[in-house]
Amino acid sequence: MLNLSGKKISIIGGGKVAFRKTLNLLEYSRDITVISPKFIKEFEQINDKINPIKSKYKEELIKGSFIIIAATDCRKTNKEISIYCKNNNILCNVVDDVDNSNFIVPSTFKRGDLSISVSTNGKSPSLSKKIRTKLEKEYPVDYEDYIKVLGEIREIILKKFQDSKKKKDLLNELVDLSYEELIERRKNYENSSGV
């Protein structure tokens, strides 16, 4: 849950894991450099959204990065990346090595402004993915609209109502309403003078 806007992200690796990590991070940032001597074909779909560099890992290519993902198929290279990051106070995730990482990337999905993440702290990424998949069904794509309306009503309540207990009560009851009920409630609050 970091604000990555304006932060440089470097991913070292051009395989399936690097591609998956890149796709996930594109949800949060557009300043992503992917470094690898070879890229799987899937990267062609997103080349216009990233900065691909066809090269072996070199320190100068990752300077100024806020986050680095080491996703090569070479443990020695991943370890070198980890050491560089530790020495330069850079957040680093070595995809297959929790001990050489200083953060873990959870299994995440977004529904507009709603982000849901699941982590087993590196013990079982497969279980994290399984749980995330179940949650994706519970919170489908149209949940994005629900969150948007919730946010709009929250702003109205915060502006129109003075009493902090009343505000809190109104905000708490919103999350139990259906989308249709929220739309109706928004109309009522827009036309209300507040208290």
Distance CA 27, CA 99 (A): 26
Q: What pLDDT digit, counting tens, does each position of 113-141 carry?
A: 888 999 888 888 889 999 999 999 999 99
Radius of gyration of the chain (CA): 21
Residue of 142 and 43 predicted with greater confidence:
43
Cβ atoms of residues 11 and 34 within 8 Å = yes
Could you give phi then psi for residue 158, rounded to 5 degrees?
Answer: -65, -35
Boundaries of every domain in the chain: 9-105, 143-191
The topology under which CATH files domain 9-105 is Rossmann fold (3.40.50)
Q: What pLDDT digit, counting tens, does each position of 53-69 carry?
A: 999 999 999 999 999 99
pLDDT value for 3: 80
Cβ atoms of residues 82 and 12 within 8 Å = no
Instruction: Give me the mean pLDDT over the 63-85 stretch.
Output: 96
Across the beta sheet with 91-94, the strand order is 51-54, 32-36, 9-12, 67-70, 91-94
